[in-house]
A and B are shown apart, each in its own frame.
Chain A
Amino acid sequence: MDVLFAVVQAATLALILALLYRPLGDYLARVYSTDRDWKVERGLYRLIGVDPRTEQSWPAYLRGVLAFSAVGVLLVYVLQRAQTVLPYSLGLPPVPEGLSFNTAVSFVTNTNWQSYSPELTMGYTVQLAGLAVQNFVSAAVGIAVTIALVRGFARRGSGTIGNFWVDLFRGSFRLLLPLSVIGAIVLVVGGVIQNFNGFTEVTTLAGGTQHLPGGPVASQEVVKLLGTNGGGFFNVNSAHPFENPTAWTSLFQNVLMLAIPFALPRTFGTMVGSNRQGTAILAVMATLFVVSLTALTALEASGSGTAPELAGGAMEGKEQRFGIFASTLFGSTSTLTSTGAVNSMHDSYTALGGMLPMLNMMLGEVAPGGVGSGLYGMLVLAVIAVFIAGLLVGRTPEYLGKRIGPREIKLASLYILVTPVLVLAGTALSFAIPGVREDVESTSIWNPGVHGMSEVLYAFTSASNNNGSAFAGLTANTPWFNTALGVAMLLGRFIPIVLVLALAGSLAAQDKVPATAGTLPTHRPQFVGLLVGVTVLVTALTYFPVLTLGPLAEGLS
């Protein structure tokens, strides 16, 4: 195989993202900074009973986030349970309670973990009015929270961090909707379907029967990626030819996933009044991305393992039109953001190759991470990095003129503890509770041996980090996984949001400390290196032991 193709593909993607960085980042900064509301927005604010010029304290902002998400879970749940009376339900039965709960939580938390096979479970109305709407708004919530944190850094002595409802509507209407319209049309040009045809029965060339699916796919596909959601219209997600028909649509889908997360550092730099700070964060994200992509591509191209070696290449679970390179690019992008879409089956990756998507999620999805969640995750790590540097040289740590005191460092430390606790506890409990263990081993696990343990670890890693990708062999539609993963998704989404908004509030209230000779510069390569190191170190120390039980044991034996 020719490595050159992989390099040119990655370079093309990098070029497109580089061209988008400034205009999209600056546009985002304007969207969330301007005082001007559109006329139609003013009408909508009146309709929902909100004064767009009222600023909120962090607890009020948080109440908005939580109330909106709670109502969202409820609506998606009810839509699924009431499927039989909804139009365009394709004759499908109501979704069972446990699965409805799991799916509702999954889409509201921007995870899009799917315990079900969509074409056999969800009618068009649930997909459109329930799932696709959450694809938009859960992404808009993520960006709103990150913008609130950025305001915390930018403001001085302020009791407020913005207005959640305004941020929510602007993210939906000024950012995601227009980009989705353009993207959906591009996808239809590429061959993604957009209809309400249901299943069409055809007699195939060799005389068999085939039921071709229909559906409003393109409109949902685009926001699945743009909002780093990842929930496919079909079971196999972006490996399905009706979701992702060609190698160029696959590259386009990478652009959709990465555009906003990679532009947000620019937004951050612009809003705190120093673009160099944004560039430094971008450099950290890009470094981690390139290293991870290179490692996964090399591992899959080498094709080690009994089955890939016998077959003559790691093509199990990969589409011919994508080959190895377009598959590993998509897999890396999807797990380094919080998308979790797949265009190849990660369960069938080589043992060490399959560990990479897991590691990407364990990094906390910060390179560049989900829309919004990636930047706030990275800024929390930056706070930790500044604190560590402060300890080393014996000075009070500051970041962007804000003192990182005991309260800030407590919030940041709690933040980085949340997901590891959920991942490790969830995996451990799956094997520690006797009744559950029996069920997990006999019903859920698909591959025997240590690979089966990797499937469970992958599931909790994906759910707790709100990614949604899977070692899809795992049968997760069981009472244990629907409940435990549902809880992991909820806690993995909202505890960090509480901590981030508290951090935003405490930073906004501070005055700026003037920079002195003793201030650590946070825009230089030295700090970029430090932040990369901190990110990797936190992850490695937390997860190395459990990785030795799964993918490392399989890959090195």
Chain B
Amino acid sequence: MSTTRTTVRTHWVALRALLVLTAVLGLAYPLVITLAGQVALPAQANGSLVRDTDGDVIGSTLIGQSFTDADGAPLPEWFQSRPSAAGDGYDAGASSGSNLGPENADLVAAIAERKAQVAESDGVDEADVPADAVTASGSGLDPHISPDYARVQVDRVAEARGLPVADVLALVEEHVAPRDLGFLGEPTVNVLELNLALATLDGAGVGD
């Protein structure tokens, strides 16, 4: 029958078209972009990696990290990142938000608990704890905190490290990045970069 023949022929054309398109768009195109990226912009193409003073890779400036002990308790001598819903926290292999809704009782309880915890450890009023300090980010890998949250943590970090408060505060202000182009997004502080600078400030070195 001619309709059967037409149908078969059309699918045969479709298959060949798809294979041609796959060769160009699925193989050649990404390989060309990879080559261009690796040659012209290797730092970005490979994940904006950060090295310590020994030259070992310790992370990426774009991916947030936990500054907690093995049990997940915050280490007072490091600036803390935002709460994270990626795995057990900042699991870069399992990016995720909490996806909890605005009336979810678990979320409300978690926010109340985080608020109390930050207020206690940093010695501030609960009303002065910024929103980003008590909410999990969309990715669970947010490398940034707000400048306010960084400032809230200054006293605690200075005390834990035996450093003058003024020095730590100056370091924070150095690390405040304004909005992109002056009007896009929000001002940020990159926690990993701040903590790296902190480690060199007191000469205590990495990982103490």
Report A's interface with B, CB cutoff 8 A. 5, 8-9, 12, 44, 47-50, 63-64, 67-68, 70-72, 75, 117, 119-120, 128-130, 132-133, 136-137, 165, 168-169, 172-173, 177, 180-181, 184-185, 188-197, 199-200, 202-208, 210-214, 216, 218-220, 234-236, 239-242, 245-248, 250-251, 304-308, 310-323, 325-327, 342-345, 347-351, 354, 446-449, 451, 454, 471-473, 554
User: Assuming A47-B16, A180-B29, A248-B180, is B47 touching A236 (CB within 8 A)?
Assistant: no
User: Assuming A184-B33, A188-B45, A320-B132, is B12 touching A49 (CB within 8 A)?
Assistant: yes
Contact call B65/A219, Cβ cutoff below 8 A = no
Contact call B20/A472, Cβ cutoff below 8 A = no
Interface string of B21-53 (1 = CB under 8 A from A): 110111101101110111001001111110010
* Cα–Cα distance between A368 and B157 once the two chains are bound (Å): 50
Contact call B93/A240, Cβ cutoff below 8 A = no
Contact call B102/A307, Cβ cutoff below 8 A = yes
* Cα–Cα distance between A524 and B21 once the two chains are bound (Å): 42
Q: Is B75 at the interface (CB under 8 A from chain A)? A: yes
Q: Closest CB-CB distance, B42 to chain A, in whole Å?
A: 9
Choice from B45, B66, B91, B184 contacting A195 with Cβ under 8 Å: B45
Cβ contacts under 8 Å, A316 to chain B: 97-98, 100, 102, 107, 111, 135-136
* Cα–Cα distance between A48 and B17 once the two chains are bound (Å): 6
Contact call A206/B78, Cβ cutoff below 8 A = yes
Leading 9 A-B pairs by shortest Cβ distance? A247-B185, A305-B102, A473-B99, A323-B186, A239-B138, A313-B131, A345-B97, A194-B37, A247-B184
Choice from A75, A197, A307 contacting B103 with Cβ under 8 Å: A307
Q: Closest CB-CB distance, B24 to chain A, in whole Å?
A: 8
Choice from B45, B68, B129 contacting A193 with Cβ under 8 Å: B45
Contact call B93/A185, Cβ cutoff below 8 A = no
Q: Which residue of A lies closest to B90 (CB)?
A: A210
Interface string of B108-138 (1 = CB under 8 A from A): 1001100100000000000001111011111
* Cα–Cα distance between A319 and B188 once the two chains are bound (Å): 10
Contact call A321/B188, Cβ cutoff below 8 A = yes
Choice from B67, B134, B181 contacting A311 with Cβ under 8 Å: B134
Cβ contacts under 8 Å, B25 to chain A: 132-133, 136-137, 172, 177
Contact call B139/A219, Cβ cutoff below 8 A = no
Segment with Cβ contacts to A, from B55-63, B158-166, B167-175: B55-63
Q: Can you name 8 A-B pairs with beta carbons within 8 Å? A: A132-B30, A205-B58, A212-B60, A241-B63, A242-B63, A248-B181, A316-B100, A345-B138
Interface string of B80-109 (1 = CB under 8 A from A): 001000000011111111111111110110
Q: Which residue of A lies closest to B33 (CB)?
A: A219
Q: Closest CB-CB distance, B44 to chain A, in whole Å?
A: 5
Cβ contacts under 8 Å, B134 to chain A: 311-312
Q: Is B14 at the interface (CB under 8 A from chain A)? A: yes
User: Assuming A202-B59, A204-B58, A236-B139, is B132 touching A307 (CB within 8 A)?
Assistant: no
Choice from A12, A307, A343 contacting B104 with Cβ under 8 Å: A307
